[in-house]
């Protein structure tokens, strides 16, 4: 019951503090692991270099991939703030979907890279490295 209220109350009594501060921003990177434990990191769902006006307008009505990418951001933040098996499994499941096109390796791994500003410089920090798990 308490868990139910904790999920529901932020909807019924919202804080509305949008962009109160701009926090370090997570990027999810993943790789297929070869037998010797190596593999190249790649970004999850990298954003395009540019979008046409038509594409931007179309996304007003149909934007499922982008919204799921934003959910990955939430999951990454949850994994750092208050890790649960749910957050970890949801991230893994989405990466397994990405990796399904490439069955060349039998294990997957991901890392979270948080980007922030330090003075005038943008810095990147790896804050989480998952254990390898079997490629389904």
Provide the binding-site residues for another protein, judged by CB under 8 A.
4, 7-8, 10-12, 14-22, 25-27, 47-51, 56-57, 59-71, 73-74, 78, 84, 86-87, 90, 93, 115-117, 122
Cβ distance to another protein smaller for residue 20 or 36: 20
Q: Tell me if residue 107 falls in helix, strand or coil.
A: strand
The minimum distance between CB 107 and another protein, in angstroms, equals 22
Cβ distance to another protein smaller for residue 37 or 48: 48
Task: Give the H/E segment covering residue 98.
Answer: helix 85-99
Calculated CA dihedral for residues 87, 89, 92, 98, nearest 10 degrees: -100
The minimum distance between CB 93 and another protein, in angstroms, equals 8
Of 135, 67, 66, 133, the residue nearest 98 (C-alpha):
135
Cβ distance to another protein smaller for residue 15 or 101: 15
The minimum distance between CB 89 and another protein, in angstroms, equals 10
Q: Token digits for 136?
A: 């389904």
Residues 6+ apart with CB under 8 A from 48: none
The minimum distance between CB 99 and another protein, in angstroms, equals 16
Cβ distance to another protein smaller for residue 119 or 134: 119
Q: Determine contact, residues 9/15, Cβ cutoff 8 Å.
A: no
Residues facing residue 32 across a β-bridge: 108
């Amino acid at each position: 019951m308490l868990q139910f209220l904790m999920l529901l109350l932020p909807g019924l009594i919202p804080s509305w503090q949008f962009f109160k501060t701009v926090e370090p921003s997570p990027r999810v990177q993943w790789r297929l692991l070869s037998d010797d434990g190596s593999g190249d990191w790649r970004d999850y769902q990298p954003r395009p270099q540019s979008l046409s006006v038509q594409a931007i307008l179309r996304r007003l009505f149909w934007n499922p991939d982008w919204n799921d990418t934003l959910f990955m951001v939430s999951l990454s933040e949850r994994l750092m703030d208050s890790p649960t098996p749910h957050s970890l499994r949801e991230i893994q499941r989405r990466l397994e979907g990405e990796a399904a096109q490439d069955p060349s390796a039998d294990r997957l791994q991901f890392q979270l890279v948080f980007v922030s500003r330090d003075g005038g410089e943008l810095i990147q920090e790896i804050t989480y490295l998952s254990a390898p798990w079997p490629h389904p």
